[in-house]
């Protein structure tokens, strides 16, 4: 009896178990349906937002038992925790990335608590979108280019790649034209490989103008969904100096003033120059190729100096006006450690030297002794005959200014005569004039002996010189009175008196002219 009862119970239990069927599942898209779906495959863009519902799992249990949904494969990207016994929302919990995985295999589980767990396999395919910018390879880019590099030379090769596929992964290169002077560089893409481009020199470089550039290369992909992407890379181009720039003079052209009579070797002025190639400056040597009056001593320092000195003694008074100023050329050339000229490139500048006068000459008389004649009782201001005194002082300006005066100790020459002019500049033509005709009396003074002094008036030295003068007084022969011309004489002869009158007039005229 007991055994029969147990068999019935087990039989009933078995019938009950066999009558409880497992659940089934249907995949149903969300309100924003994916591009493709079916029971075994789904497709989603890789930019699908994290946290959003991708699709629904709808379970059916023939026995109306509540269903528990789970994930055994793919739980790192997908979640089904939002469920209610018959439905489960499949949500994305981690960003999809086409470049990392183009598809995901998902195994969902359904359990009604009575039967074995049901597994449902789904493959989710990731759709690529343009979400990556081109990426440059081998950065940072840096190169060195000599300033005399040939135009057309490739300065730098750049390359890039884009993780996106298809058109999204293709890109084009171009230069940011604002990153360097216009026309200095051009960019050419490799015709066989669009992922490679060449930065090419398109214009001459000059280290002294600019010693470096930073052109920017830009890569822009061809994708548009959802947008284009660009990236850039800077190419650091260091310009290397070469010996191609001639020396440069500072503060030129030069001029100087030099006093006359300076001894040979006197310093006139200094010139200064430096190597135009600033990165590795060479020493400078100076020379004066076209003048024998000056020579130059080279002194090396950071800026090379040339000390110009005299080779001759200059005499201002022996030089003509067209010789002023003295102009000559100074040449600068670069030399190496062994004083060898580095290249044929030289620089030159002009130097103008004005020779300044110093007071080194006194007024000089043309003769040492002058002789003249004057008729006695010649009228005042009349000129002593046969005398023309020339005085020269070649010094310039006030150095050549002087006065002229009569010197006589204890005599009366300065009372009888005066000089005209009495002052002069550089040159004078002096005459002697009568001051007091009463002193020209042959019976008292047959001649006058005196000196003429020429003395500087505006110098500290007061240089002077003298000349001797002798003035002879010529006697006037006067006819005696004819008694026949005496008034009241009954024997007056008018013709005789007229002759006497004419003779006396001629005598006075002679004195005046003389």
CATH code matching the domain that covers 135-240, chosen among 2.60.40.60, 3.30.70.3290, 3.40.109.10, 2.40.50.140: 2.60.40.60
Please tell me the distance from the alpha carbon of residue 456 to that of residue 376, in angstroms, as a whole number.
34
Question: In this predicted model, what pLDDT tens digit does every residue of 405-434 receive, in sequence order?
Answer: 999 877 899 999 999 999 999 999 999 999
> What CATH code would you report for 364-474?
2.60.40.60
Question: Tokens 């709808």 identify what position?
Answer: 58
The H or E element containing residue 418 is strand 417-420
Are residues 180 and 145 in contact, defined by beta-carbon separation less than 8 angstroms? no
Q: In what order do the strands lie in the sheet with 254-259?
A: 254-259, 341-356, 326-335, 283-287
User: Please, which pLDDT band fits residue 77 given cuts at 50, 70 and 90?
Assistant: very high
Which residue matches tokens 């920017």? 216
Do 416 and 381 meet the contact criterion of CB atoms below 8 Å apart? Answer: no
Cα separation, 514 vs 509, whole angstroms? 8
Q: Are 408 and 450 in contact (CB under 8 A)?
A: yes
Identify the residue with better confidence: 454 or 32.
454
How far apart CA 287 and CA 332 sit, in angstroms, is 7
Question: What are 149-155's contacts with CB under 8 Å, separation 24+?
Answer: 149/201, 149/205, 150/201, 151/201, 151/202, 151/203, 151/204, 152/200, 152/201, 152/202, 153/200, 153/201, 154/198, 154/199, 154/200, 154/201, 155/185, 155/199, 155/200, 155/201, 155/235, 155/237
Give the pLDDT score at 324: 86
Three-class SS of 121-162: EEEEEEECCECCCCEEECCCEEEEEECCCCCCCEEEEEEEEC
pLDDT number for residue 33: 35
Residue 222 is classified by DSSP as S
**Whole-number Å distance between alpha carbons of 226 and 48:** 12
Closest CA to 214 of 224, 228, 199, 196: 199
Cβ atoms within 10 A of the Cβ of 324, count? 13
Q: Given strand 185-189, what is the order of strands in its sheet? A: 135-137, 154-161, 196-201, 185-189
Cβ-Cβ contacts under 8 Å for 259 (sequence gap 6 or more): 355, 356, 358
Rounded to the nearest 5 degrees, what angle is found at the Cα of 369, between the Cα atoms of 368 and 371?
155
For the structural domain made of 22-127, what CATH number should be given?
2.60.40.60
The CATH number of domain 248-356 is 2.60.40.60: yes
- pLDDT single digits (tens) 182-211: 999 999 999 999 999 999 999 999 998 899
Instruction: Kindly report, residue by residue over 164-186, the tens digit of the pLDDT.
Output: 998 999 999 999 999 999 999 99
Is the per-residue pLDDT at 326 higher than 60? yes
Q: Which two tokens stand for residue 68?
A: 């528990």
Residue 487 pLDDT class (50, 70, 90 cuts): very low
């Amino acid at each position: 009896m007991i055994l029969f009862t147990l068999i019935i119970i087990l039989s009933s239990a078995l019938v009950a178990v066999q009558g409880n069927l497992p659940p089934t599942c249907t995949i149903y898209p969300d309100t924003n349906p994916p591009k493709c779906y079916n029971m075994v495959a789904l497709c989603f863009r890789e930019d699908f937002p994290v946290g959003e519902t991708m699709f629904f799992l709808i379970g059916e249990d023939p026995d109306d038992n509540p269903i528990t949904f789970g994930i055994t494969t793919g739980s790192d990207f997908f979640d089904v925790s939002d469920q209610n016994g018959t439905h489960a929302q499949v949500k994305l919990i981690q960003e999809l990335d086409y470049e990392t995985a183009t598809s995901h295999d998902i195994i969902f589980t359904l359990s009604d608590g009575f039967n074995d767990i049901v597994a449902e396999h789904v493959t989710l395919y990731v759709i690529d979108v343009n979400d990556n910018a081109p990426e440059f390879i081998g950065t940072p880019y840096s190169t060195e280019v000599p300033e005399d590099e040939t135009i057309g030379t490739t300065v730098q090769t750049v390359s890039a790649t884009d993780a996106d596929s298809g058109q999204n992964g293709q890109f084009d290169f171009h230069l940011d034209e604002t990153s360097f002077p216009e026309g200095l560089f051009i960019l050419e893409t490799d015709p066989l490989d669009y992922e490679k481009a060449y930065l090419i020199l398109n214009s001459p470089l000059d280290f002294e103008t600019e010693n470096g550039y930073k052109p920017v290369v830009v890569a822009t992909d061809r994708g548009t969904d959802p947008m284009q992407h660009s990236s850039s890379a800077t190419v650091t181009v260091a310009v290397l100096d070469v010996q191609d720039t001639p020396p440069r003079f500072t503060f030129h052209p030069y001029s100087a003033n030099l006093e006359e009579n300076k001894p040979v070797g006197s310093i006139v002025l200094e010139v200064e120059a430096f190597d135009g190639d600033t990165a590795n400056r060479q020493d400078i040597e100076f020379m004066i190729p076209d003048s024998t009056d000056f020579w130059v001593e080279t002194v090396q320092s950071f800026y090379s100096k040339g000390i110009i000195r005299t080779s001759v003694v200059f005499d201002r008074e022996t030089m003509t006006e067209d010789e002023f100023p003295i102009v000559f050329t100074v040449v600068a050339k670069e030399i190496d450690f062994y004083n060898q000229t580095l290249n044929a490139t030289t620089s030159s500048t002009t130097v103008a030297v004005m020779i300044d006068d110093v007071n080194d000459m006194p007024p000089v008389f043309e003769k040492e002794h002058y002789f003249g004649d004057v008729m006695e009782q010649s009228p005042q201001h009349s000129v002593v005959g046969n005398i023309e005194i020339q005085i020269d002082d070649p010094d310039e300006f006030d150095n050549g200014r002087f006065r002229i005066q009569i010197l006589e100790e204890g005599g009366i020459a300065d009372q009888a005569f005066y000089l005209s002019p009495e002052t002069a500049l550089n040159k004078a033509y002096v005459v002697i004039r009568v001051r007091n005709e009463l002193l020209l009396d042959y019976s008292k003074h047959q001649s006058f002996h005196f000196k003429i002094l020429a003395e500087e008036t505006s110098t500290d030295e007061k240089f002077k010189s003298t000349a001797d003068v002798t003035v002879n007084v010529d006697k006037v022969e006067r006819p005696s009175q004819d008694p026949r011309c005496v008034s009241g004489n009954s024997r007056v002869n008018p013709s005789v008196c007229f002759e006497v009158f004419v003779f006396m007039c001629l005598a006075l005229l002679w004195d005046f002219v003389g």
